[in-house]
Amino acid sequence: MAHLESYDSFQTKKAREQKKRAKERSSSKEKNVNKGGKFVIKKGENYGTVIEVRYNDAYIFYEDRIVKAHLRKDINYPCNQVLFPGDKVIVEPDGEDFVINNMIARTSLLSRVKKDSTRLDSSVGATKNIAANINLAVIVVAAKNPPLHPKFIDRYLMVLQNSGIDSIICLNKADLKGENEEKTLDIYRNIGIPVIETSTVKKEGIEQLKEYLRGKQAIFVGNSGVGKSSLTNSLMESEEIKTSHVSEKSGKGRHTTTTSKYYVWDEKSSIIDTPGIRSLDISTFQPQEIQEYFQEFEAWSCKCKFSNCLHYKEPENLCMVKQGVKSGIISKDRYKSYIRILENVLNERTREMDDLDER
Ligand SMILES: Nc1nc2c(ncn2[C@@H]2O[C@H](COP(=O)(O)OP(=O)(O)O)[C@@H](O)[C@H]2O)c(=O)[nH]1
Ligand SMILES: [Mg+2]
Ligand SMILES: [Zn+2]
């Protein structure tokens, strides 16, 4: 676990602050439910882990088996608005089922933009919560097929960091890796993100991946076709994984995974295999905030002429970040990712202004 420890010590003060903010955000979402008797508690022993949520009930991994459970009677919300996969709950037998008496306060809540959300309902319910209490995200990318693009990695890194979740990069299909891919990976090694390389074809790197996953409530994220399900299968070949469970109703696609699968190894270790999460929610970011997630800019940006420099349309001679890119010390790809995300956020804000004007 040496890698993980060095990564933890790498966490900057800023990252810790981001985590704190993420925690506050997720706990503010719990408030509604907590109005009656205390449902959300700070700590608890002998908890079970939610692995699938339906409208009225949830499946809980509890004492080495999966039990079906419903919410305590006084909680007047559908189960799927209160609990998400990964939530830790206190249950007790209740007739044939179990009853969920409490939920332990979340450490993180990961969400994505809903596929069917339109601009009109963007204020309500436009995001879908994917999983709670995730403490490690494995960003899976492929060396080739699909090609390796830093822009996906950067978006994931930003959103995950903002949710208070540590990330590692897993380059799968390492058997297809060339020089260009090696250069791309170096960008991330240089900024302190752990990178592991796997090949499910050659059965390489699986043990190392396992080492990272042990003791974690982890999630595989990444575009479809990169090999997330193949990796899960490789992990499953080892006997440690006890349970697998399909959550969400299956969609129509025949050859791609359309459902999330929750694999539990033991009380403390699990992995969620997600279908590709296409649209991550970046709507909550302020333009000025985005650069915080490009930690290697910081040493330069503090010397930009304007303290609120966006390193965007400002003249090159007044922007040190642009100088850093020019000198080759800041990766051009990372800078491009930054600009792409910034433009997304700025466009979103322009559209909101237009909407206001029209009213
Ligand atoms: N060359 C190579 N192909 C792989 C590797 N892992 C997975 N694949 C192939 O990549 C394709 C997509 O894999 P899959 O696990 O379904 O990806 P997912 O959509 O991310 O779950 C399949 O055809 C796999 O056989 C690998 O390590 N090397
Ligand atoms: Mg899959
Ligand atoms: Zn600047």
Look at ligand 1, atom 10, and give the residue with the nearest C-alpha: 227
Contact 47, 89 (CB under 8 A): yes
> DSSP string covering 145-192, please?
TTTP-HHHHHHHHHHHHHTT--EEEEEE-GGG--HHHHHHHHHHHHTT
pLDDT means per 10 residues in the chain (359 residues)? 36 63 63 68 92 91 91 94 94 96 94 57 60 94 94 90 92 97 95 96 94 93 90 74 47 45 76 74 85 94 96 97 96 95 86 61
Give the per-residue pLDDT at 110: 86
Question: Domain boundaries in the chain?
Answer: 2-15+109-273, 31-104, 287-358
Contact 225, 281 (CB under 8 A): no
Atom nearest to 273 CA in ligand 1: 21
**What is the largest distance, in Å, between two alpha-carbon atoms of the chain?**
72
Give the per-residue pLDDT at 9: 37
Torsion of CA 20, 24, 25, 26, to 10 degrees: 100
Q: Return the half-sphere exposure (C-beta side, CA atoms, 13 A cut-off) of residue 261.
A: 17
Q: Which CATH architecture has domain 2-15+109-273?
A: 3-Layer(aba) Sandwich (3.40)
CATH fold label, 287-358: Ribonucleotide Reductase Protein R1; domain 1 (1.10.40)
| 230 Cα to the center of ligand 2, angstroms | 7
Give the per-residue pLDDT at 235: 83
Give residues (CB < 6 A) around ligand 1.
Answer: 172-173, 175-176, 199-201, 224-230, 256-257
Integer Cα distance of 209 and 198 in angstroms: 8
CATH 2.40.50.140 fits 31-104, yes or no: yes
| 98 Cα to the center of ligand 2, angstroms | 31
Give the per-residue pLDDT at 259: 62
Integer Cα distance of 143 and 181 in angstroms: 6
The model's pTM: 0.81
Give the per-residue pLDDT at 251: 37
| 228 Cα to the center of ligand 1, angstroms | 7
Contact 309, 321 (CB under 8 A): yes
| 31 Cα to the center of ligand 3, angstroms | 39
Integer Cα distance of 310 and 289 in angstroms: 9
Look at ligand 1, atom 8, and give the residue with the nearest C-alpha: 227
Contact 59, 66 (CB under 8 A): yes
76: Cβ contacts below 8 Å, ≥ 6 apart: none
